[in-house]
Protein backbone atom coordinates (compact mmCIF):
# COMPACT_ATOMS: atom_id res chain seq x y z
CA UNK A 1 0.00 0.00 0.00
CA UNK A 2 1.33 3.38 -0.98
CA UNK A 3 0.52 6.99 -0.17
CA UNK A 4 2.31 10.19 -1.06
CA UNK A 5 3.23 13.66 0.12
CA UNK A 6 3.03 16.02 -2.84
CA UNK A 7 4.21 19.59 -2.18
CA UNK A 8 4.55 22.25 -4.88
CA UNK A 9 7.84 24.16 -4.90
CA UNK A 10 6.24 27.58 -5.29
CA UNK A 11 7.65 28.89 -2.02
CA UNK A 12 9.20 27.78 1.25
CA UNK A 13 7.50 25.13 3.35
CA UNK A 14 5.81 26.52 6.44
CA UNK A 15 3.96 25.08 9.42
CA UNK A 16 0.92 24.12 7.35
CA UNK A 17 3.14 21.93 5.17
CA UNK A 18 4.84 20.44 8.21
CA UNK A 19 1.40 19.48 9.48
CA UNK A 20 0.36 17.97 6.14
CA UNK A 21 3.64 16.05 5.90
CA UNK A 22 3.19 14.77 9.45
CA UNK A 23 -0.32 13.48 8.66
CA UNK A 24 0.79 11.77 5.42
CA UNK A 25 3.99 10.19 6.75
CA UNK A 26 2.35 9.13 10.03
CA UNK A 27 -0.62 7.66 8.14
CA UNK A 28 1.84 5.52 6.20
CA UNK A 29 3.91 4.56 9.23
CA UNK A 30 0.91 3.52 11.32
CA UNK A 31 -0.14 1.02 8.65
CA UNK A 32 3.23 0.00 7.32
CA UNK A 33 2.60 1.69 3.98
CA UNK A 34 5.23 3.52 2.06
CA UNK A 35 4.94 7.27 1.51
CA UNK A 36 6.37 8.65 -1.73
CA UNK A 37 7.58 12.18 -2.14
CA UNK A 38 6.24 13.81 -5.28
CA UNK A 39 7.33 17.27 -6.36
CA UNK A 40 4.36 18.90 -8.07
CA UNK A 41 6.24 21.38 -10.21
CA UNK A 42 4.24 21.56 -13.45
CA UNK A 43 3.62 25.27 -12.95
CA UNK A 44 6.88 26.47 -14.48
CA UNK A 45 5.72 30.06 -14.06
CA UNK A 46 6.02 29.73 -10.25
CA UNK A 47 8.08 26.66 -9.27
CA UNK A 48 11.85 26.80 -8.84
CA UNK A 49 14.62 24.24 -8.33
CA UNK A 50 15.80 26.17 -5.29
CA UNK A 51 12.45 25.65 -3.59
CA UNK A 52 12.57 21.95 -4.52
CA UNK A 53 15.97 21.60 -2.85
CA UNK A 54 14.65 23.42 0.20
CA UNK A 55 11.74 20.97 0.40
CA UNK A 56 14.20 18.04 0.59
CA UNK A 57 16.23 19.82 3.22
CA UNK A 58 13.24 20.81 5.38
CA UNK A 59 11.56 17.40 5.25
CA UNK A 60 14.83 15.66 6.00
CA UNK A 61 15.49 17.98 8.93
CA UNK A 62 11.97 17.31 10.24
CA UNK A 63 12.87 13.62 10.28
CA UNK A 64 10.80 12.27 7.38
CA UNK A 65 12.20 9.88 4.85
CA UNK A 66 10.89 8.56 1.57
CA UNK A 67 11.84 6.00 -1.04
CA UNK A 68 14.06 7.15 -3.90
CA UNK A 69 13.77 8.29 -6.58
CA UNK A 70 11.65 11.31 -5.72
CA UNK A 71 8.84 11.66 -8.28
CA UNK A 72 9.12 14.84 -10.34
CA UNK A 73 6.05 15.95 -12.28
CA UNK A 74 7.83 18.25 -14.72
CA UNK A 75 9.46 15.16 -16.26
CA UNK A 76 6.04 14.00 -17.41
CA UNK A 77 4.61 16.90 -19.40
CA UNK A 78 4.45 14.75 -22.50
CA UNK A 79 2.61 11.92 -20.72
CA UNK A 80 0.05 14.39 -19.36
CA UNK A 81 -0.35 15.94 -22.82
CA UNK A 82 -1.15 12.54 -24.33
CA UNK A 83 -3.97 12.05 -21.81
CA UNK A 84 -5.36 15.49 -22.61
CA UNK A 85 -5.18 14.80 -26.32
CA UNK A 86 -7.04 11.54 -25.82
CA UNK A 87 -9.82 13.33 -23.92
CA UNK A 88 -10.08 15.79 -26.81
CA UNK A 89 -10.20 12.97 -29.35
CA UNK A 90 -13.04 11.36 -27.41
CA UNK A 91 -14.92 14.66 -27.75
CA UNK A 92 -14.89 15.12 -23.97
CA UNK A 93 -12.63 18.15 -23.84
CA UNK A 94 -12.52 21.38 -25.76
CA UNK A 95 -10.36 24.38 -26.40
CA UNK A 96 -11.46 27.50 -24.58
CA UNK A 97 -10.11 30.76 -25.97
CA UNK A 98 -12.01 32.90 -23.43
CA UNK A 99 -9.93 35.07 -21.15
CA UNK A 100 -10.76 35.64 -17.49
CA UNK A 101 -12.05 39.04 -18.52
CA UNK A 102 -14.42 37.47 -21.10
CA UNK A 103 -15.77 35.15 -18.42
CA UNK A 104 -16.21 38.03 -15.97
CA UNK A 105 -18.19 39.78 -18.70
CA UNK A 106 -20.58 36.82 -18.76
CA UNK A 107 -19.36 34.84 -21.77
CA UNK A 108 -19.64 31.09 -21.25
CA UNK A 109 -17.16 28.53 -22.60
CA UNK A 110 -18.73 26.26 -25.22
CA UNK A 111 -17.69 22.89 -26.49
CA UNK A 112 -17.15 23.65 -30.15
CA UNK A 113 -14.87 20.70 -30.56
CA UNK A 114 -11.14 21.07 -30.80
CA UNK A 115 -8.46 21.65 -33.27
CA UNK A 116 -5.58 20.14 -31.39
CA UNK A 117 -3.51 19.07 -34.33
CA UNK A 118 0.01 19.93 -33.36
CA UNK A 119 -0.86 20.14 -29.66
CA UNK A 120 1.74 17.51 -28.70
CA UNK A 121 4.44 19.50 -30.53
CA UNK A 122 4.41 22.01 -27.69
CA UNK A 123 5.76 19.27 -25.42
CA UNK A 124 8.50 17.91 -27.64
CA UNK A 125 11.43 16.51 -25.76
CA UNK A 126 13.52 19.00 -23.89
CA UNK A 127 10.72 21.55 -23.61
CA UNK A 128 10.50 22.05 -19.89
CA UNK A 129 8.32 25.15 -20.21
CA UNK A 130 5.39 24.31 -22.48
CA UNK A 131 2.68 26.82 -23.34
CA UNK A 132 -0.28 26.18 -25.64
CA UNK A 133 -2.47 28.45 -27.79
CA UNK A 134 -5.67 28.04 -25.72
CA UNK A 135 -6.61 26.43 -22.45
CA UNK A 136 -8.60 23.18 -22.61
CA UNK A 137 -11.62 22.31 -20.48
CA UNK A 138 -13.17 18.95 -19.63
CA UNK A 139 -16.83 18.80 -20.69
CA UNK A 140 -18.46 17.50 -17.52
CA UNK A 141 -21.83 16.82 -19.10
CA UNK A 142 -20.44 14.88 -22.07
CA UNK A 143 -18.01 13.03 -19.83
CA UNK A 144 -20.85 11.77 -17.68
CA UNK A 145 -22.89 10.81 -20.72
CA UNK A 146 -19.87 8.93 -22.04
CA UNK A 147 -19.67 6.87 -18.85
CA UNK A 148 -23.42 6.08 -19.08
CA UNK A 149 -24.57 4.57 -15.79
CA UNK A 150 -21.16 3.66 -14.40
CA UNK A 151 -20.70 4.47 -10.72
CA UNK A 152 -18.71 7.57 -9.88
CA UNK A 153 -17.77 7.17 -6.24
CA UNK A 154 -14.80 7.20 -3.92
CA UNK A 155 -14.08 6.00 -0.40
CA UNK A 156 -13.32 8.73 2.14
CA UNK A 157 -11.63 7.51 5.32
CA UNK A 158 -11.04 10.72 7.27
CA UNK A 159 -13.84 10.06 9.77
CA UNK A 160 -12.13 6.83 10.83
CA UNK A 161 -14.66 4.79 8.90
CA UNK A 162 -14.89 4.06 5.19
CA UNK A 163 -17.55 6.33 3.78
CA UNK A 164 -18.69 6.01 0.18
CA UNK A 165 -19.01 9.40 -1.50
CA UNK A 166 -21.09 9.81 -4.64
CA UNK A 167 -19.25 12.13 -7.02
CA UNK A 168 -21.95 11.90 -9.66
CA UNK A 169 -24.31 13.96 -7.51
CA UNK A 170 -21.69 16.69 -7.07
CA UNK A 171 -20.80 16.70 -10.76
CA UNK A 172 -24.43 16.74 -11.92
CA UNK A 173 -25.06 19.62 -9.57
CA UNK A 174 -22.15 21.52 -11.14
CA UNK A 175 -23.62 20.93 -14.60
CA UNK A 176 -27.11 21.98 -13.52
CA UNK A 177 -25.78 25.16 -11.96
CA UNK A 178 -23.85 25.81 -15.18
CA UNK A 179 -20.56 26.01 -13.32
CA UNK A 180 -17.53 26.47 -15.55
CA UNK A 181 -16.09 23.19 -16.79
CA UNK A 182 -12.73 22.46 -15.13
CA UNK A 183 -9.55 23.38 -16.98
CA UNK A 184 -7.45 20.32 -17.78
CA UNK A 185 -4.75 22.18 -19.69
CA UNK A 186 -3.75 25.69 -18.76
CA UNK A 187 -2.62 27.90 -21.60
CA UNK A 188 0.49 29.03 -19.70
CA UNK A 189 1.74 25.51 -18.78
CA UNK A 190 0.00 23.23 -21.28
CA UNK A 191 -1.35 20.85 -18.64
CA UNK A 192 -3.14 21.08 -15.28
CA UNK A 193 -3.15 19.82 -11.73
CA UNK A 194 -6.17 17.53 -12.26
CA UNK A 195 -4.46 15.59 -15.04
CA UNK A 196 -1.01 15.42 -13.48
CA UNK A 197 -2.28 14.26 -10.12
CA UNK A 198 -4.62 11.55 -11.43
CA UNK A 199 -2.03 10.29 -13.91
CA UNK A 200 0.64 10.04 -11.21
CA UNK A 201 -1.62 8.49 -8.60
CA UNK A 202 -2.35 5.75 -11.12
CA UNK A 203 1.16 5.17 -12.50
CA UNK A 204 2.81 5.45 -9.09
CA UNK A 205 0.36 2.86 -7.72
CA UNK A 206 -0.99 5.15 -5.02
CA UNK A 207 -3.61 3.24 -3.04
CA UNK A 208 -4.38 5.95 -0.45
CA UNK A 209 -4.33 9.66 -1.11
CA UNK A 210 -3.73 11.72 2.03
CA UNK A 211 -4.14 15.46 1.45
CA UNK A 212 -5.76 18.65 2.71
CA UNK A 213 -9.50 19.15 2.76
CA UNK A 214 -9.08 22.15 0.47
CA UNK A 215 -8.79 19.60 -2.37
CA UNK A 216 -11.94 17.66 -1.46
CA UNK A 217 -14.12 19.17 -4.22
CA UNK A 218 -11.42 18.42 -6.83
CA UNK A 219 -11.72 14.74 -5.98
CA UNK A 220 -15.03 14.50 -7.87
CA UNK A 221 -13.24 15.65 -11.03
CA UNK A 222 -10.41 13.20 -10.31
CA UNK A 223 -12.84 10.28 -10.02
CA UNK A 224 -14.33 11.25 -13.39
CA UNK A 225 -10.92 11.39 -15.09
CA UNK A 226 -9.96 8.05 -13.51
CA UNK A 227 -13.12 6.38 -14.80
CA UNK A 228 -12.73 7.73 -18.34
CA UNK A 229 -9.07 6.69 -18.41
CA UNK A 230 -9.74 3.24 -16.89
CA UNK A 231 -7.54 4.01 -13.88
CA UNK A 232 -8.29 2.73 -10.39
CA UNK A 233 -9.66 5.18 -7.82
CA UNK A 234 -7.53 5.18 -4.65
CA UNK A 235 -9.04 5.70 -1.21
CA UNK A 236 -8.98 9.29 0.04
CA UNK A 237 -8.22 10.78 3.42
CA UNK A 238 -8.75 14.55 3.38
CA UNK A 239 -7.33 16.05 6.55
CA UNK A 240 -8.18 19.48 7.97
CA UNK A 241 -5.90 22.26 6.80
CA UNK A 242 -3.86 23.67 9.66
CA UNK A 243 -5.18 27.02 10.72
CA UNK A 244 -1.97 28.84 11.10
CA UNK A 245 -2.32 29.97 14.73
CA UNK A 246 1.41 30.07 15.42
CA UNK A 247 2.11 31.28 11.90
CA UNK A 248 -0.36 34.13 12.28
CA UNK A 249 1.04 35.09 15.66
CA UNK A 250 4.59 35.04 14.37
CA UNK A 251 3.83 36.91 11.19
CA UNK A 252 2.00 39.59 13.19
CA UNK A 253 5.34 40.19 14.85
CA UNK A 254 6.84 40.43 11.39
CA UNK A 255 8.56 37.05 11.61
CA UNK A 256 9.05 34.60 8.79
CA UNK A 257 7.19 31.36 9.61
CA UNK A 258 8.93 29.13 7.10
CA UNK A 259 10.48 25.92 8.39
CA UNK A 260 13.86 27.23 7.30
CA UNK A 261 13.50 30.37 9.35
CA UNK A 262 12.25 28.51 12.43
CA UNK A 263 15.29 26.21 12.12
CA UNK A 264 17.64 29.15 11.70
CA UNK A 265 16.12 30.71 14.79
CA UNK A 266 17.25 27.74 16.85
CA UNK A 267 14.06 25.69 17.15
CA UNK A 268 14.43 21.92 17.07
CA UNK A 269 12.59 19.72 14.58
CA UNK A 270 10.63 18.33 17.50
CA UNK A 271 9.47 21.80 18.54
CA UNK A 272 8.46 22.68 15.00
CA UNK A 273 6.47 19.46 14.65
CA UNK A 274 4.77 20.21 17.96
CA UNK A 275 3.80 23.66 16.69
CA UNK A 276 2.40 22.06 13.53
CA UNK A 277 -0.71 20.80 15.30
CA UNK A 278 -4.37 21.67 14.87
Integer Cα distance of 108 and 137 in angstroms? 12
Q: How far is the CB of 42 from ligand GLU (least distance, A)?
A: 9
182 is a contact residue toward ligand GLU (CB under 6 A): no
CB-nearest residue to ligand GLU: 211
> Looking at beta carbons only, is 8 or 74 nearer to ligand GLU?
8
58 is a contact residue toward ligand GLU (CB under 6 A): no
By CB under 6 A, the residues from 22 to 51 that bind ligand GLU are 40
Of 106, 90, 87, residue with least CA distance to 182: 87
> Looking at beta carbons only, is 36 or 273 nearer to ligand GLU?
36
2 is a contact residue toward ligand GLU (CB under 6 A): no
Q: How far is the CB of 274 from ligand GLU (least distance, A)?
A: 23
Among 3, 6, 15, 250, interactor with ligand GLU by CB under 6 A: 6
> Contact, 203 vs 154, CB < 8 A?
no
> Looking at beta carbons only, is 116 or 197 nearer to ligand GLU?
197
Identify which range of 5-13, 183-191, 223-231, 251-259 contacts ligand GLU by CB under 6 A.
Answer: 5-13
181 is a contact residue toward ligand GLU (CB under 6 A): no
88 is a contact residue toward ligand GLU (CB under 6 A): no
Q: How far is the CB of 111 from ligand GLU (least distance, A)?
A: 27
192 is a contact residue toward ligand GLU (CB under 6 A): no
Q: How far is the CB of 73 from ligand GLU (least distance, A)?
A: 9
Binding mask 214-243 for ligand GLU (x = CB under 6 A): -x----------------------------
Identify which range of 1-9, 112-120, 124-132, 173-181 contacts ligand GLU by CB under 6 A.
Answer: 1-9
What is the size of the binding site for ligand GLU (CB under 6 A)? 7
**Sequential DSSP letters for the chain:** -EEEE----SS--BHHHHHHHHHHHHHHHHHT-EEEEEE----TTT--HHHHHHHHHHHHHHT---PSSPEEGGGGHHHHHHHHHHHHHTT-EEEE---HHHHHTT----------TTGGGGG-TT-SS---SSEEEE-HHHHHHHTTT---EEEE-TTSS-EEEEHHHHHHHHHHTTPPPPEEE-TTTSS-HHHHHHHHHHHTT--EEEEEGGGHHHHHHHHHHHHHHTPPP-EEEEEPPPP-HHHHHHHHTT---BHHHHHHTT--HHHHHHHS--
> Looking at beta carbons only, is 13 or 116 nearer to ligand GLU?
13
Binding residues for ligand GLU, per CB under 6 A? 6-8, 40, 197, 211, 215
Amino acid sequence: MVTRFAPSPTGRLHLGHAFAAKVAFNFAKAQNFSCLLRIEDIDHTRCTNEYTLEIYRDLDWLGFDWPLPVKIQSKHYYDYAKIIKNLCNLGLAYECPLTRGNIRDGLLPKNKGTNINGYLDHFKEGNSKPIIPNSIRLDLKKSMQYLKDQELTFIETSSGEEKKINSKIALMDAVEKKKLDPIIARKDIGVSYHIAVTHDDCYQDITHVVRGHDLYESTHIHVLIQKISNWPTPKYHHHPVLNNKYGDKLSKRGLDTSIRSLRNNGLTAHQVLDMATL
